[in-house]
């Protein structure tokens, strides 16, 4: 049984209106002081103590518990009574202090020790909710509300401790570390730049680099912006970090130009808060002037969400930069909240297709349709289109055939330090073999999920001198189509992952110049008729096949393909 020292002092008071002391602790946390942990401790089912043992016993128990919690903190923080059976503790997280969850466990353990209120011995249980300043909020009222919400979530979810927002203990600890350290990242020299090549779709030449921010946290290691920039924005240091990135990137571009690499652009991400600053345009132009860099060599990447509202300062900043020759890219296009009218209002030079659309290409029908539509729309608006997140040869082949202009992704290089990026610039061309013009063979793609049938067809057509590609499933077929010039496709109808007519219907959208045929022992007249009427298939052939007749059908298909091409060229001219 826990005994209370006789000199424990007066019981902690209640959290009064306006709670000036707590607000002062909050203001210290958002100033130069350490982060602040606010804990809401709720006693489980305390109403039963009042009902069964009297309100007087309940009041005495809460009074004793308040003193014990105050003694436990030993001056590390403050405790207040709050509500009928609740307590609030505010603890500055000084260097060397235990993690917030450890402090919460200490307070809960103290609350759950036996409590002697004669003639009773009470055994209480409790839940705790935690909010952190400045991570979760910057006012006492908001932090109190968040901690109370977290405590309620803990009660409903069967947890002893819950952070506001439902984050895991590890994540919240990491976020607390980020909030303490990110404010000193610039003076401590912890920010880093990495550079990722941007590649011409024509020949694989390096035409640009994107500067990508990293933070070398003293305790959490190298981190990408998605992990720390939201916290930096809440703390109000995102503009300073953005300014550091811009200055450092321009300094690096100056070095590369001095080394003879004067025909590339450097892309730098800028935040909405930077664009809203009245002096941003003048600062950018002055940095370029001091470095002796033509404005056209700098490209600023703006997140699509920055254009979602009709914000005059952003429009004025972008228009002024564009007039001076600075390039503008709309980043993550297709995932934000901006409308198409923003492309008319804002003077953007390039669209960068978000990697989420590239990841599933070329097999996913909806995503590939969106990518093709973005490329076509960009070209109609006289913009170039960059594909971000290109990681496979199949994606590259599909994007090249869709007339995308620039590629960026791990297929050509991961974000790298400046020295390695300089090596890539000296090479000039990355993965040139992927851009080499191939021989214009007569290429036949065979698709069938029965291996013995596929082998038989390969043997049959090999004698006719075709270049033969064989796929046992639809995904492999899409990959082969993306990386090869295919004129004729012969597909089985009944396959495990997709029917032949459905597969060829998708192929028609992606590769309309191909001649597409189905070979099947299964005949669904309605399906076949519909596919032929839609132009998805050129001919439907049946199993078992006559070898001579089947070979003649394929020869005719290649002749049909050859007859179509001049007509398309004449129409385009």
pLDDT tens-digit profile, the chain (573 residues): 344 433 345 566 677 556 788 888 998 888 878 889 999 998 887 877 877 788 888 889 999 998 999 899 888 899 988 877 889 999 998 888 888 888 999 999 998 888 888 888 888 888 899 998 888 888 888 899 889 888 887 776 667 888 887 554 556 566 778 888 898 999 999 999 999 999 999 889 999 999 999 999 998 889 899 888 888 887 778 999 999 999 999 999 999 999 989 889 999 999 888 988 889 999 999 999 999 999 999 999 998 777 766 567 888 888 899 999 999 998 888 666 555 666 777 778 999 998 888 887 776 667 788 888 899 998 988 899 999 999 988 889 889 888 899 999 999 999 999 999 999 999 889 998 888 765 567 899 999 998 889 989 998 998 888 889 999 999 899 989 988 889 999 999 888 888 888 899 889 888 888 999 988 876 666 666 776 767 678 888 888 889 989 999 999 999 888 887 644 333 333
C-beta separation of 539 from 549 below 8 A: no
Beta sheet of 515-520, edge-to-edge order: 467-471, 443-447, 488-492, 515-520, 539-542
- Calpha distance 161→42 (Å, rounded): 11
Is the backbone peptide bond immediately before 388 cis, with ω within 30 degrees of 0? no
C-beta separation of 110 from 72 below 8 A: yes
Tally of CA atoms within 13 A in the half-sphere of 168 that contains its CB:
3
5 DSSP assignment:
P
Q: What DSSP assignment string belongs to 114-148?
A: -EEETTEEE---EEEEEEEETTT-SSHHHHHHHHH
- Calpha distance 42→417 (Å, rounded): 51
Task: Give the pLDDT of residue 570.
Answer: 38
| CB-based contacts of 246, cutoff 8 Å, min separation 6 | 268, 270, 284, 287
Percentage helix, strand, coil, to 5, in the chain? Answer: 45, 20, 30
| CB-based contacts of 293, cutoff 8 Å, min separation 6 | 250, 253, 254, 257
Alpha helices, DSSP H, located in 312-364: 312-323, 341-345, 355-359
Among candidate residues 195, 245, 204, 198, the one with its CA nearest the CA of residue 388: 198
Q: What DSSP assignment string belongs to 135-190?
A: TT-SSHHHHHHHHHHHHHHHHHHT-SEEETTS--HHHHHHHHHHHHHGGGTTTTT-
- Torsion over CA of 163, 169, 172 and 173, rounded to 10 degrees? 130
Q: How many CB atoms lie within 10 A of CB 336?
A: 17
Angle between helices 500-510 and 365-380 (to 10 degrees): 10
- Work out whether strand 161-163 and strand 406-408 pair parallel, antiparallel, or are unpaired: unpaired
- Calpha distance 338→200 (Å, rounded): 27
Task: Give the pLDDT of residue 158.
Answer: 66
- Torsion over CA of 433, 438, 439 and 445, rounded to 10 degrees? 120
């Amino acid at each position: 049984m826990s005994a209370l020292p006789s000199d424990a002092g007066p019981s902690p008071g209640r959290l009064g209106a306006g709670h000036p002391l707590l607000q002062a602790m909050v203001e210290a946390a958002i100033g130069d002081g350490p982060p602040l942990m606010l804990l809401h401790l709720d006693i489980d089912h305390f109403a039963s103590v009042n009902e069964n043992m009297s309100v007087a016993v309940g009041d005495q128990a809460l009074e004793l518990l308040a003193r014990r919690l105050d003694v436990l903190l030993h001056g590390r923080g403050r405790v207040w009574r709050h509500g009928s059976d609740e307590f609030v503790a505010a603890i500055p997280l000084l260097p060397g202090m235990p993690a917030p969850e450890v402090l919460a466990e200490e307070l809960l353990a103290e609350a759950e020790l036996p409590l002697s209120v004669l003639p009773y011995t009470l055994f209480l249980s409790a839940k705790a909710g935690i909010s952190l300043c400045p991570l979760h909020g910057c006012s006492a009222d908001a932090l109190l509300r968040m901690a109370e919400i977290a405590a309620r979530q803990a009660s409903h979810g069967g947890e002893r401790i819950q952070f506001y927002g439902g984050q895991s203990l590890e994540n919240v600890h990491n976020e607390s570390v980020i909030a303490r350290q990110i404010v000193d990242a610039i003076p401590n020299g912890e920010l880093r730049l990495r550079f990722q090549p941007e590649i011409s779709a024509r020949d694989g030449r390096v035409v640009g680099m994107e500067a990508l921010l990293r933070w070398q946290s003293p305790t959490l290691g190298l981190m990408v912006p998605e992990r720390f920039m939201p916290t930096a924005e809440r703390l109000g240091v995102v503009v300073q970090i953005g300014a550091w990135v811009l200055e450092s990137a321009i300094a690096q571009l100056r070095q590369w130009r001095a080394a003879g690499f004067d025909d590339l652009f450097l892309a730098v991400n800028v935040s909405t808060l930077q664009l809203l600053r009245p002096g941003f345009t003048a600062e950018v132009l002055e940095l370029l002037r001091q470095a002796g860099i033509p404005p056209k060599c700098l490209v600023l990447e703006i997140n699509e969400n920055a254009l979602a509202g009709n914000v005059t300062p952003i429009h004025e900043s972008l228009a002024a930069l564009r007039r001076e020759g600075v390039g503008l890219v709309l980043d993550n296009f297709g995932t934000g909240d901006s409308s198409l009218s923003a492309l008319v209002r804002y003077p953007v030079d390039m669209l960068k297709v978000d990697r989420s659309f590239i990841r599933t290409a070329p097999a996913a029908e909806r995503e590939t349709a969106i990518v093709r539509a973005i490329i076509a729309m960009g070209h109609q608006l006289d913009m170039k289109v960059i594909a971000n997140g290109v990681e496979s040869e199949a994606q590259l082949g599909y994007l090249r055939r869709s007339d995308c202009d620039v590629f960026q992704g791990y297929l050509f290089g991961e974000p790298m330090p400046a020295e390695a990026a300089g090596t890539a610039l000296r090479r000039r061309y990355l993965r040139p073999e992927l851009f080499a013009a191939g021989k214009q063979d007569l290429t036949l793609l065979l698709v069938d999920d029965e291996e013995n049938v596929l082998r038989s067809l390969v043997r049959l057509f090999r004698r006719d001198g075709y270049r033969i590609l064989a796929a046992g499933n639809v995904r492999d077929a899409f990959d082969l189509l993306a990386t090869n010039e295919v004129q004729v496709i012969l597909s089985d109808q009944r396959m495990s992952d997709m029917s032949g007519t459905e597969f060829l219907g998708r192929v028609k959208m992606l590769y309309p110049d191909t001649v597409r045929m189905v070979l099947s022992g299964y005949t669904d007249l309605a399906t076949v008729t519909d596919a032929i009427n839609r132009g998805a298939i050129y001919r439907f052939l049946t199993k078992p096949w006559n070898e001579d007749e089947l070979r003649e059908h394929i020869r005719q298909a290649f002749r049909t393909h050859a007859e179509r091409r001049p007509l398309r060229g004449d129409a385009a001219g």
